[in-house]
A and B are shown apart, each in its own frame.
Chain A
Amino acid sequence: MATISTHLRNFKEPDKDEQALLFFSIPSTATGGPAKGAPAPGDDPEKMDINAVLSLGGQSQEDPYAGKLHLIPPYLAFVSLDRKSVKFSLPLCTIRRVERLNARAGIYALSFSLWHGMKIVVQLTSLRPTADLFCELLSKALKAELQAGRMKAVKPFSKTCYSENLVLESSPVADNEREDGSLIDGGEKVGVGGAPVFHGGLGLKFKFPGDPKKLREASKTKLWTTYLRVHGRHLTLLRYPQCTRLVQVGLPNRLRGEMWETLSGSIYLRFMNPGYYEQILADNKGRNNTSTEEIEKDLHRSLPEYSAYQSEDGIGALRRVLQAYSFKNPETGYCQAMNILAAAILIYMSEEQAFWLLEVVCDRLLPGYYSTTMHGTLLDQRVFESLVARCLPIIHDYFQEVDVQLSVASLPWFLSLYINSMPMVFAFRIVDCFFAMGPRVLFQVGLAILKINGEKLLQIQDDGGFIHLMRDYFSSLGESAHPDSPDPRARAITRFQELLLVSFREFAVITDETIFAERRKYRNEIVTSIESFSKRSSIRNLKTLQRFTKDQVGLVYDALFKAVCIEPPPAPVQPPIALLTTKDAVEERPETRIELRTFRLFLSEIVTWARDDKIVTNGFQQRVDREVAEHELIDRLFYFWDFSFRGSLSFQDLVTGLDGVMFNDLMENIEWFFNLHDKNKDGFLTKDEVLTLSESMLFIFRFEVGDAYLGAISRFMSNAFEYGDALLPQSEGEDGELPSPKIESNQPYLNLATFRMVVLADEVLESFFETDLSASFRLEPVPLMELPTANSGLLGGLWSTLASDDNKKLFHKFSDEVGKTIGRHQVIHRPSIGRYRSIEEPRARESLLTPSMRRSASKSSLTQDESSLKTSSASTTSLPSTTTAVSLDTTSSISQDSIASPAEYNSLSLVQAANAALMERTPFAIDDAGDEDDEDEEDEEEEVNDGVLDEVDAFLEAHDPGVSDADRELSKDLINAEPVK
């Protein structure tokens, strides 16, 4: 693996706005792809939220709920105070009318009519001016939507949704369902014109997994039909507690796909990007790359036992969806496990639906899970481990004791959403909850699995035992959880039901916020370990370390890594596929190769003369400002080390290149420097090259103290030309005048032997080539752009506040300025060689030159460099008057952080206390689910329905509408109130 990836460095934790988008499953504009008709960048519509009480009109029996109404154009979203009972995210284009209601004085209420006739009333309970502002922004946003023309798109879109067919009073679909109860008949998928009316999955044709009767499909469908009639559907679904309860008992197969996209919010992407899926496939038709190759390998290896995947119907759909995803996200491409996920969701949804759902899973719900470093997976495994340590300390400690790694079993759970671990019918129910409630579900279920198996887990001795135990448990999920109970109702509870109960009851403390916070806490630890892993494997994959030790090569890598972070190279080179498949082709894996700009940065880390270190003293601090030097010599070195002539350097090239100079003795160094300047490698320098070489030396010595090097170089030039001329073949053989060069400046002129002689004639140059040149290449620990120390969200935050480059610069500027005013500002260039500390000029060796020649050596070009020695940059910057203010801001944000800390600790200890309390509960008690209905299939339908609901009730958590009785009354009034005017 010779690629160096720095993308982990650029990761940013989601900020408040992004968290809100995540919470409401609203796509951020960045992920939606090139949305057609998206507002032009620049006129970002304004967001706002406001306190509100939500009431639902029509036949609903729902309580009013207090909460917050968010305007996040182009969406309107609401969440109840407890953040779990009620929420919705409505695209503004589904709103047909907004009216201010004529109600009691002092009440500010709006009524929204949605496209299918549903009416919701929202009472704005914030202060009047706030409410006015909100209305103003809302109407602006609505107008923008109208202009974008999306209102018209809603109705045709709704036709693609199965739920619309379901809610029709006399839908042939619904009728059919009630008759046969099995729902397995693909007949009405095709409409009058032969075009599919609504989107659906492979299950319509190839049957859905599981026994529909056992799954109580008919009853579930009926309950959902009622719910969707009253509470909206697809784009306009309102989520009341009943919705979550119905999800928790398992979605009915036919509705499942649509509910997944609705609950996860991928439906908004499909709605906003019509035709995108077909387009991206068309645009990339026939394209082949690593991803398509990897996909091809796995097509027949995805849920192979499901009949659709034994036919071209299923394989083709799977291929298209996976390819489309990889074309859209070339960075991620294709990761094994995505095939299983895609194959699973395609049973329930169309290709287009699956494409967008995959997008949401990979990008938003499980970020980084399937990336090339799989950092998201590793991070969540770390998070899971820490949650186990917190919630199930006994198991955690025991695992440590017997050296069992949690993730040997749990990693596949998360990576394939349990689809690969459990029988599919059960896994899909977990997936139902996952889309409705988010990633925390994976953690809750994982914890519940461990908790339920707690006693047995304390018997295992090694990783293998752990895996065996888990496998046995998963294969028994359909069995009774209490087979020996005298109570038939208790016996009817399956282990799977028990699992869900424990997940959502005992581990209700695990919230989205818990997951966010834990991810933040461990992110750096994971990034560091991934980076050090890829460092190790990069080093391991070098063909040769040359004469370096592993540690030294590690330092080279660090310098390279830092350079790549700052100046990313072009995407790794992928050798053409054709090369890979022929028998004797040279195998090349994609590798990172750096270009000149990155090389300069790299070299500046290692070579003293490839950087300008300015030592700045200003009375407050002494610091070193490092700038990357640019010079022809550095560029020359770049091409000198480009051993395969590709205009770019690999890690190996750098190691080999450095090896070529760092171990040299005097003679080798002279030869190296000669070769570096002998461009055509004919063993001769031309006159031009002699000049260039002298310039190179001048560049290297530019910051040295004293005149010693300047003298040496001028002597060198004179000698070189004298000897060069003297050794020229005297073809003419004429008079005694100085044989003025009869040779073109680009003709072979000076050979190595002569060059060596000239260099050795000078004490200063000799000592330079003897040791100083090699020593100017230094492998020292690179002050990497360190990550904040792990495990300290707080400290980390503080660190980054302080240490953000901008702030540092500001502080430096500020202190420099003050330093200047008090006359203590001083800038010194650090010498690259630093041999001569004083100005005294060492004597030249017994010279071969006449004194006159020595004097004549031109100093004109040197004075400039000399002067830079004395440069004081006192005039470089003028202080903007705002600097002080800004740096004050910095401090205040620091103190905010530290104020936040006690709260953070408090909430943490609360969670711990809560967990402790939970752990002391008696293990799952039978009567918790005592009102479970016995599975009498012959019961009347009504009773079956009740049975389903009983199961739901077992999950029911207390829902607090957060409103008083008076509010309730008011809400009733409002529903019936007349609009103003």
Chain B
Amino acid sequence: MADAASGSAADKSVQVKLVLLGEAAVGKSSVVLRFVSNEFQANKEPTIGAAFLTQKCRLEDRVLRYEIWDTAGQERFHSLAPMYYRNAQAAVVVYDVTKATSLEKAKTWVKELQRQANPNIVIALAGNKVDLVQPSPAAGSSASESEDEADDATATPGEAPAEASDAENLRQVPREEAQAYAEEAGLLFFETSAKTGEGVVEVFTEIAKKIPLEHILASSRGAAGRPGAAGRSASQDVSLDENQSKGKDACNC
């Protein structure tokens, strides 16, 4: 399968190793699944150790190949994390906007990455599950999605199904607070929903823009487009430029 479609673009294809970190069940795997296959599964199994996925995307005239390491969130898996974030050029640290502790955990991850990981690593902070704190009959959400809602509520214990009126009550991390922290720590910041797709592609777009691609290209020249590297068919590529605008639409509604 692989690179035939990209043809000459393969020359410009850059591999970016990206790692996802964050407390258990904040939705790391769901965010990746949304980005890679544009799907959402209500009950995803917890990640054991780590999962690996790839996704190619186009950004302007360049092709990026994200190699995504999705790690396990539980505290005791923490000591395994260095195995996955070594040599990573980017990291997405995820927290759950309905759970204050998850931001604390995110902060310790950021601290660790800034001290232990690749010094040029680009870090994005993503507050996931914003769908839970938005009035639920929001524009564009279909009947089937509100069914999902009920499922999720059971999957995320301690939370009553979100009613339009008190959806915002579920929020435990104010956007401003997290954003202020992100600025202070020099992180990209997003609020996302793996369920609705809101903000997900943007995370990866903005990272792509911020990463010093030329630098990586120069240092990993031999790696890109070699025969063994498993690729995805071109049709599955995400064009970041397009999706970005789609993402913005989602934000506007």
Taking Cβ atoms with an 8 Å cutoff, the residues of A that contact B are 1, 293-294, 296-298, 300-304, 335-337, 339-340, 370-374, 378, 405, 407-408, 411-412, 415-416, 420, 459-465, 467-468, 530, 533-534, 536-537, 540-541, 580-583, 585, 587, 589
Q: Does B49 contact A (CB under 8 A)?
A: yes
Contact A540 B157 (CB under 8 A): no
B50: chain A residues within 8 A (beta carbon): 408, 412
Q: How far is the CA of A371 from the CA of B75 in the complex (A)?
A: 11
> Per-residue 0/1 for B86-122: is the Cβ within 8 Å of any A Cβ (1 yes, 0 no)?
0000000000000011001000100110011000000
Q: A301-B44, A405-B83 are in contact. Are A415 and B76 (CB under 8 A)?
A: no
Interface size on B, residues (CB 8 A): 44
The list of the 5 closest CB pairs from A to B, nearest first, reads A304-B43, A467-B52, A412-B49, A411-B49, A296-B157
Q: Does B144 contact A (CB under 8 A)?
A: no
A534: chain B residues within 8 A (beta carbon): 79
Contact B49 A415 (CB under 8 A): yes
CB-defined A-B contacts under 8 Å, sample of 24: A1-B78, A294-B24, A297-B24, A298-B24, A298-B46, A300-B43, A300-B155, A301-B44, A372-B75, A373-B79, A378-B79, A378-B80, A408-B83, A411-B49, A412-B49, A461-B229, A530-B79, A533-B79, A537-B112, A540-B108, A540-B112, A541-B108, A581-B158, A587-B104
A302: chain B residues within 8 A (beta carbon): 45
Q: How far is the CA of A296 from the CA of B84 in the complex (A)?
A: 27
Q: A294-B24, A583-B172 are in contact. Are A374 and B48 (CB under 8 A)?
A: no
B160: chain A residues within 8 A (beta carbon): none
Shortest Cβ distance from residue B110 to the other chain A in the assembled complex, whole angstroms: 11
Q: How far is the CA of A294 from the CA of B226 in the complex (A)?
A: 42
Contact A587 B101 (CB under 8 A): yes
Contact A415 B48 (CB under 8 A): yes
Q: How far is the CA of A463 from the CA of B86 in the complex (A)?
A: 11
B100: chain A residues within 8 A (beta carbon): 580-583, 585, 587
Q: Does B54 contact A (CB under 8 A)?
A: yes
Among A378, A530, A583, the one with the most B-chain Cβ atoms within 10 Å of its Cβ is A583
Q: How far is the CA of A335 from the CA of B74 in the complex (A)?
A: 8
Contact B52 A463 (CB under 8 A): yes
Closest to B76 in A: A372
B46: chain A residues within 8 A (beta carbon): 297-298, 301, 336-337, 339
**Which B residues between 1 and 45 are near A, CB-CB below 8 angstroms?**
24-25, 43-45
Among B79, B82, B104, the one with the most A-chain Cβ atoms within 10 Å of its Cβ is B79
Contact B77 A408 (CB under 8 A): no
Closest to B67 in A: A464
Contact among B52, B73, B157 for A464, CB-based, below 8 A: B52
Contact among A1, A412, A530 for B75, CB-based, below 8 A: A1
Contact among A293, A301, A465 for B43, CB-based, below 8 A: A301
Q: How far is the CA of A340 from the CA of B226 in the complex (A)?
A: 37
A378: chain B residues within 8 A (beta carbon): 79-80
> Per-residue 0/1 for B54-72: is the Cβ within 8 Å of any A Cβ (1 yes, 0 no)?
1000000000000100001
Q: How far is the CA of A371 from the CA of B104 in the complex (A)?
A: 23
Shortest Cβ distance from residue B242 to the other chain A in the assembled complex, whole angstroms: 25
Contact A297 B25 (CB under 8 A): yes
Q: Between A and B, how many residue pairs show CB distances below 8 Å? A: 122
Q: Does B150 contact A (CB under 8 A)?
A: no
Contact among B154, B157, B228 for A460, CB-based, below 8 A: B228
Contact B79 A540 (CB under 8 A): no
Shortest Cβ distance from residue A619 to the other chain B in the assembled complex, whole angstroms: 49
Contact among A337, A541, A585 for B48, CB-based, below 8 A: A337
Contact B84 A408 (CB under 8 A): yes
Among B52, B116, B226, the one with the most A-chain Cβ atoms within 10 Å of its Cβ is B52
Shortest Cβ distance from residue A538 to the other chain B in the assembled complex, whole angstroms: 11
Q: A300-B154, A336-B74, A587-B101 are in contact. Are A468 and B230 (CB under 8 A)?
A: yes
**Which B residues between 211 and 227 are near A, CB-CB below 8 angstroms?**
223, 226
Q: How far is the CA of A298 from the CA of B45 in the complex (A)?
A: 7
B115: chain A residues within 8 A (beta carbon): 540
**Which B residues between 155 and 200 are near A, CB-CB below 8 angstroms?**
155-158, 172
B75: chain A residues within 8 A (beta carbon): 1, 372
Q: A459-B228, A540-B112 are in contact. Are A294 and B52 (CB under 8 A)?
A: no
Among B112, B157, B172, B223, the one with the most A-chain Cβ atoms within 10 Å of its Cβ is B157
Closest to A343 in B: B45
Q: How far is the CA of A416 from the CA of B78 in the complex (A)?
A: 17
Can you add 13 more A-B contacts, CB < 8 Å, to A374-B76, A460-B228, A468-B230?
A297-B46, A297-B157, A301-B46, A335-B76, A337-B46, A371-B76, A407-B49, A415-B48, A416-B48, A420-B48, A462-B223, A468-B52, A585-B100
Contact A374 B112 (CB under 8 A): no
Closest to B108 in A: A541
A468: chain B residues within 8 A (beta carbon): 52, 230
Closest to B105 in A: A589
A298: chain B residues within 8 A (beta carbon): 24-25, 46
Contact A408 B52 (CB under 8 A): yes
Closest to A580 in B: B101
Q: How far is the CA of A468 from the CA of B25 in the complex (A)?
A: 24
Shortest Cβ distance from residue B80 to the other chain A in the assembled complex, whole angstroms: 7
Q: How far is the CA of A294 from the CA of B155 in the complex (A)?
A: 12
Shortest Cβ distance from residue B86 to the other chain A in the assembled complex, whole angstroms: 9
Shortest Cβ distance from residue B62 to the other chain A in the assembled complex, whole angstroms: 20
Shortest Cβ distance from residue B166 to the other chain A in the assembled complex, whole angstroms: 14
Contact among B54, B83, B111, B155 for A301, CB-based, below 8 A: B155
Closest to B68 in A: A464
Contact A412 B48 (CB under 8 A): yes
Closest to A466 in B: B52
Q: How far is the CA of A468 from the CA of B50 in the complex (A)?
A: 13
Among A460, A461, A541, the one with the most B-chain Cβ atoms within 10 Å of its Cβ is A461
Q: How far is the CA of A293 from the CA of B159 in the complex (A)?
A: 13
Closest to A470 in B: B52
Contact B76 A373 (CB under 8 A): yes
Q: How far is the CA of A461 from the CA of B83 in the complex (A)?
A: 17
Contact A420 B24 (CB under 8 A): no
A301: chain B residues within 8 A (beta carbon): 25, 43-46, 155
Q: How far is the CA of A600 from the CA of B111 in the complex (A)?
A: 32
B24: chain A residues within 8 A (beta carbon): 294, 297-298, 336
Contact A336 B72 (CB under 8 A): yes
